[in-house]
Structure 1
Amino acid sequence: MSGHDVAIVGGGSAGLLLGCLLAQRALDVVVLERRAAPAGGSRAIGIHPPGLRALDRAGVGGRVRDESIAIREGLALAPGIDLGTVRFDRSPIRALPQHRTEAMLRERLAALAPDALRLGAEVVGASEAGGAVALAVAEGAAVEARCVVAADGVHGPMRGMLGIGSTAVPGEAHHAMADGPDATGRADAAMLHLHPEGIVESFPLPGGARRWVARLEGPGAGMDAQALRATIAARLGAAPPLADDAPVSAFVARQRLADRFACGRVALMGDAAHEVSPIGGQGMSLGWLDALALEAAIAEVLATGRTAPLAAYARARRASARRAMRRASWNMAMGAPASEARFAARIAVVRALAAPPARRLLAASFTMRGL
């Protein structure tokens, strides 16, 4: 059995960032990732200002700035109406595909601790005794650590191993998305097109690309680019330039909160602790804020032997996740299909929020202040 200061179960964006932070403290950290190869595909793109500060702490913020694109304003639109603009000049949101950010974090971790990341290491059991946690690894030697972090995602097994339940927030929403060339002429703007049949959102990407996301009435599994293009065209009056063979990703926006974020010497973080609706794009950055808080808590646990810092971490970050979920629930509700009367009321609300002084509060919400 190999012994470490900290074992992180899950090598996604949150686990990698925490691994870098702990390695910078010269702690013996191991990151156990069940996948044999890094994940690709179309996933999160939004890096909010607090998340970028976390990446700065890990030593990759400069690279992210160089490769990402800055979103400096959000435009709210409805059929034939310009509802308002919210600007993020002082604290822009950065857009960069998640696989690129994770690649930078893997490279940084390898530079700090060359053997820290173990791919193909599936954790199948966990037990705590004698001031340490033992992890059973399928087809590999067991791992022991003084602290363990569950960063294995929404569907990871660590919560179940620890006997920690989770509570679902009522409501879910179906969406489909695809990337294509940006023909909007607004390479620094996110666009939110409200429509009675459901919202259409678009976000700039590096390299002159744009991501299109449409709210659907039902599951979007099996939808191709032509069908998504037609759906968007029916609401916007013009089709986005999506190629016929552009990959389409269907997803369900829903929310779930772990009943506890810590259990003895084990802490939960990122999607393992909180599934936050991707509408608003704050889930990835929220996991990085968990990592910042957990870095300090773990350092104190290792220095004192007391687990109270993990309990304090759990209380504070669970409260932050609840605030993020309330914001995401509001975003989901504003993008839902609506009757004519309800849609008219929604337009009035958005117009009011996009005007001073409420506009400042809206910008603060979108840029994750207070989380």
Structure 2
Amino acid sequence: MRKQRFIHLLILGLLSAIGPFSIDMYLPGFPDIAKDLHTNVSRVALTLSGFFIGIAIGQLLYGPLLDKYGRKKPMYIGMVLYVLASFSAPFVKTVEMLIALRFLQAIGGCVGMVASRAMVRDLFDVTESAKVFSLLMLVVGVSPIIAPTVGGYLAAAFGWPSIFMVLGSIGAVILVMVIIWLPESKKPDPHYSLYPKAILGKFGAVMKNSTFLVYTFTGAFTAAGLYAYISGSPHVFMEIFGVSERVYGWIFAIIAAGLIIATQINAQILKRVSSNDIIPRAVSFQVLTGILLFAGFALNWLGLYGGIVLCCLFLACQGFTFPNASALAIAPFRNDAGSASALLGFIQMAVGASVTAVMSLFHSTSAVPMAGVMALCAITAIIILLFGGKTLKKQSLAINNQQVGDPGI
């Protein structure tokens, strides 16, 4: 039983990691991609924006499909598309073609992200869900450590096209694992309508839930700070600080280690502290580190090593925020967990795509734009959490007062 649970969680973790792995592995290849496709690194960064847009749109498509047809069948379709797009990417001749294929790659691969969140909601209660999300983040967190390092070596030894060949192979292996070892957690629902009006109604009902809105947008903007770092770090570390592709991979890995450690600390803290108590503290600390990072680069007293330390602390906060915000956001939904998971992912990736698009506009000779966007994302998240939290408390008090005053209760 324990072995089966481990295998299931491993597969769910790998499904969750498809997106991050597809993002992180090709980052060290940005300069070579720009050179081969006769463009600049800022233009290549738009392939990242295209990927985020694909993930955002794709998750909205898969949510209803997962609720109607069960969790596994839509996964088969998405993973096949991901594999085909990955194997096609090495043959592009222009950056526009690569943007298009990255978009299709994201449309396919995002099914793993939606399905894994929905299956966690199917199989675990709210408290256990936060712990499971922390465990999934362990697998996801390994991605930023392994992916850029592997990508750096692949780009240096075999060229950037080899990165996409490896991604396609990884996708094929995960697909086989899903087919053989992952059980179906939800039976198909023949009564679930796929008409646009019905789907929009489901999404509308989810969006009316205040708990979902507060924790989804809080998590989305803290994650946007992470995406700003991912989008801006190749330029900052390789062009401004002048490190090599391989060294950049190791820097990315070291910084990502903070995220992994934080997720596992979070899983232990949850035994004594609730998710509601953890999130405000994590976001507040992220705001502080974001401001210090911005001020340090703006005032020129923060060098390479200081930047690495503060980026590590900033990303570590995500290890506390993401698992708890995700669990709380989809907790109110059981029958519509697929739709809730899809909206959660869509909002997160839509915000992330917007941030990476903004980052692509900067071709600065300093790290200030990256740090500034990271700090702004964290500040936005704390504002949402503070005002949204007050609204949730008022609603909770109103419900409690109504129950006390109702003699029928």
Q: Which has the higher contact order (CA 8 A, sep 6+)?
A: 2
Shorter chain as normaliser: what TM range?
A: under 0.3
More strand by share: 1
Q: Could you state the TM-score of these two structures normalised by the residue count of structure 1?
A: 0.27
Q: Could you state the TM-score of these two structures normalised by the residue count of structure 2?
A: 0.25
